[in-house]
Homo-oligomer: A and B are copies of this chain.
């Protein structure tokens, strides 16, 4: 697309295929997509695409061997021929992009038969896009990449060229589902379910050729808001009939509709509590409406008291999801998926893994991460989240299985994409979207290999070492110069950009650090605190219970300790705060220098954009360093061991 960054699908990525002779066997819409991709590459680079019984030899054979809906494929190379076979059309599409990702390596040497299939059938992006611009939250809630790809000023975009290009990028990293509107469903958005379903159908049509199914966020109050019913009680017959009817119409418009996403009884959104019903009642009602069509309801577990009294230290927001949902294990319908944020709070730069994920063996779970960098630099800071997500996915939340397996309902990311020419505002934030897709397909993948793959596709070998140096440790760097030791929330209220140590300290949001002149942190132990640590399975409950065994990076999340408390690292808490904040800024300065050295190796517009953003990141990192250090110096009175400047 003209004027739009090609991201990880530049023409050059198709050269290995486009210069060769490819045979495609099979038919149907997704096979047409595969054929068109190969044909386009050949048109550009001089290769050929054949089909049916065309005579060989071929460099590449892409062959559909069945008709099912599976997504896996096999790949092998023997006798100078690379072969991809798939029993389902989706698999063939993913096989094609597998070859694209391999590049020239796909056509070298011999390669034994490999079977590839996604760990989970659902790899989804939630777009927090509003149809109508919200007076506070704007066109895209927590969006840092311009407007919405789908909506503009209350209307659906007429030209969906960009949406189709987006679907192509998603397919190329393995994403197969997309929710087109914000989980906070306002008035205009509510109507997407009924009289504006045509807008959603248009989007579904644009995404379908790339194997991406469309989902919709709905409001629990829809039967009242749109149906003029006196109640939205999930056990009320008329309500259930209304949802059945509405869902039937949705499926008329979108035969392969994915399902509903629901934020209920959360931050002001309506839900089943008002009727004395459980969240299982609520979810199961929608599951029943979707069941005849194979749809799924994604029911978010983000339920907590957002009007808490900061004076009350017995209430702990971190406990809320577990307290609300763990007792409901086994009560959810088969096509209801409980969508759990990866941490117990809300996408802070460092959180423990939510204990709820290990506590729902009889419930289908989806784990939600946040690609949009609400609390991680808002796409003005480089912060590659691959290692964070990988840590989450490898964490054995129930003491036995990794989160990547426990999340049998799939992985979901809040999208970081908008109508920005670079898709994600910060060009390097594309790496987060790509990494999410690849980890969703294979949760135990090495994120650093995924990063290398993204770098190779996006930028080639020239700037690769520099890009790796900039991105690889960028999450740890961000963690260093922001809130320390897992305590979180030291951000400006409302927009969440930049430091404000006490910004959420006396708020109703359940977000406290309890710093005083002696120490800091939240006691969430069972013995003396809120008991949150006890929500974990073994061995985590014991590990987190004591400050002696709690990992340093989560210490202040679980414990209130003195500034002189000795970390496992051998540093005191206060010296750790000072040191990490000075180090974090130094690391940003170093990354900025590295980026400057890549001029000439990176496309000029992209280089200029990132260079400009590095100025802001460095300014902001210094602001974080100085505010955090000054705050804790003023409170603790402890001087920096190295005598550096603290204000």
- Which residues of A come within 8 Å of B, CB atoms? 310-311, 499-503, 506, 515-518, 623, 626-627, 630-631, 633-637, 647
Residues of B within 8 A of A506 (CB): 499-500, 623, 626-627, 630
One of B499, B623, B635 near A516 (C-beta < 8 A):
B635
Question: Across the two chains, which residue of chain B brings its CB closest to A498?
Answer: B506
Complex CA–CA separation, A516 to B631 (angstroms): 8
Can you list 12 residue pairs at the A/B interface with Cβ under 8 Å? A311-B626, A499-B506, A501-B502, A502-B631, A506-B630, A515-B634, A516-B634, A516-B637, A517-B517, A517-B634, A517-B636, A634-B635
Copies in the complex: 2
**A514 vs chain B, min Cβ distance (A):** 8
Question: Across the two chains, which residue of chain B brings its CB closest to A647?
Answer: B311
Other than A499-B506, A515-B634, A517-B635, give 5 A-B pairs with Cβ distance below 8 A. A310-B647, A501-B502, A506-B630, A516-B633, A517-B637
Complex CA–CA separation, A477 to B359 (angstroms): 52
**A491 vs chain B, min Cβ distance (A):** 13
Question: Across the two chains, which residue of chain B brings its CB closest to A515?
Answer: B634
Residues of B within 8 A of A631 (CB): 502
Residues of B within 8 A of A518 (CB): 637
Question: Across the two chains, which residue of chain B brings its CB closest to A633?
Answer: B516
Complex CA–CA separation, A631 to B311 (angstroms): 12
Question: Across the two chains, which residue of chain B brings its CB closest to A312?
Answer: B647
One of B311, B500, B501, B635 near A635 (C-beta < 8 A):
B635
Complex CA–CA separation, A506 to B635 (angstroms): 15
Complex CA–CA separation, A506 to B501 (angstroms): 10
**A511 vs chain B, min Cβ distance (A):** 14
- A-side interface mostly: loop
Complex CA–CA separation, A636 to B627 (angstroms): 19
Residues of B within 8 A of A502 (CB): 500-502, 631
Residues of B within 8 A of A310 (CB): 647
Complex CA–CA separation, A543 to B630 (angstroms): 32
Question: Across the two chains, which residue of chain B brings its CB closest to A630?
Answer: B506
Complex CA–CA separation, A635 to B520 (angstroms): 12
Among all A-B residue pairs, the 9 with the closest Cβ atoms? A516-B634, A517-B517, A502-B502, A311-B647, A506-B627, A517-B637, A517-B635, A635-B635, A311-B626
Question: Across the two chains, which residue of chain B brings its CB closest to A514?
Answer: B634
Residues of B within 8 A of A516 (CB): 633-635, 637
Complex CA–CA separation, A568 to B516 (angstroms): 29
**A581 vs chain B, min Cβ distance (A):** 14
Complex CA–CA separation, A623 to B311 (angstroms): 10
**A404 vs chain B, min Cβ distance (A):** 40
Complex CA–CA separation, A518 to B634 (angstroms): 8
Complex CA–CA separation, A503 to B627 (angstroms): 12
Question: Across the two chains, which residue of chain B brings its CB closest to A636?
Answer: B517
Complex CA–CA separation, A603 to B515 (angstroms): 49
**A370 vs chain B, min Cβ distance (A):** 25
Question: Across the two chains, which residue of chain B brings its CB closest to A507?
Answer: B500
Complex CA–CA separation, A636 to B518 (angstroms): 10
**A617 vs chain B, min Cβ distance (A):** 18
Complex CA–CA separation, A168 to B272 (angstroms): 55
Complex CA–CA separation, A636 to B634 (angstroms): 10
Question: Across the two chains, which residue of chain B brings its CB closest to A506?
Answer: B627
Residues of B within 8 A of A499 (CB): 506
**A625 vs chain B, min Cβ distance (A):** 11
Residues of B within 8 A of A500 (CB): 502-503, 506
Complex CA–CA separation, A634 to B626 (angstroms): 21
Question: Across the two chains, which residue of chain B brings its CB closest to A645?
Answer: B311
Complex CA–CA separation, A623 to B631 (angstroms): 22
Complex CA–CA separation, A500 to B501 (angstroms): 11
**A496 vs chain B, min Cβ distance (A):** 14
Residues of B within 8 A of A626 (CB): 311, 506
Name, among A503, A517, A633, the residue most crowded by chain B CB atoms within 10 Å (CB to CB): A517
Residues of B within 8 A of A635 (CB): 516-517, 634-635
Question: Across the two chains, which residue of chain B brings its CB closest to A516?
Answer: B634
Question: Across the two chains, which residue of chain B brings its CB closest to A494?
Answer: B494
Question: Across the two chains, which residue of chain B brings its CB closest to A502?
Answer: B502
Name, among A623, A631, A636, A647, the residue most crowded by chain B CB atoms within 10 Å (CB to CB): A647
Residues of B within 8 A of A634 (CB): 515-517, 635
Residues of B within 8 A of A515 (CB): 634
Complex CA–CA separation, A517 to B633 (angstroms): 9
Complex CA–CA separation, A502 to B626 (angstroms): 14
**A510 vs chain B, min Cβ distance (A):** 15
Residues of B within 8 A of A501 (CB): 502
Residues of B within 8 A of A633 (CB): 516
Complex CA–CA separation, A517 to B520 (angstroms): 14
**A273 vs chain B, min Cβ distance (A):** 25
Complex CA–CA separation, A271 to B517 (angstroms): 45
**A509 vs chain B, min Cβ distance (A):** 14
Residues of B within 8 A of A311 (CB): 626, 647
Complex CA–CA separation, A501 to B310 (angstroms): 15
Complex CA–CA separation, A633 to B635 (angstroms): 11
Name, among A311, A631, A635, the residue most crowded by chain B CB atoms within 10 Å (CB to CB): A311
Complex CA–CA separation, A631 to B505 (angstroms): 10
**A224 vs chain B, min Cβ distance (A):** 28
Residues of B within 8 A of A630 (CB): 506
Residues of B within 8 A of A647 (CB): 310-311
Residues of B within 8 A of A503 (CB): 500
**A22 vs chain B, min Cβ distance (A):** 54
Complex CA–CA separation, A506 to B627 (angstroms): 7
Complex CA–CA separation, A515 to B517 (angstroms): 12
Complex CA–CA separation, A635 to B517 (angstroms): 5
Question: Across the two chains, which residue of chain B brings its CB closest to A311?
Answer: B647
Residues of B within 8 A of A627 (CB): 506
**A310 vs chain B, min Cβ distance (A):** 8
Complex CA–CA separation, A100 to B29 (angstroms): 88
Complex CA–CA separation, A630 to B634 (angstroms): 16
Complex CA–CA separation, A623 to B506 (angstroms): 9
Question: Across the two chains, which residue of chain B brings its CB closest to A310?
Answer: B647
Question: Across the two chains, which residue of chain B brings its CB closest to A135?
Answer: B135
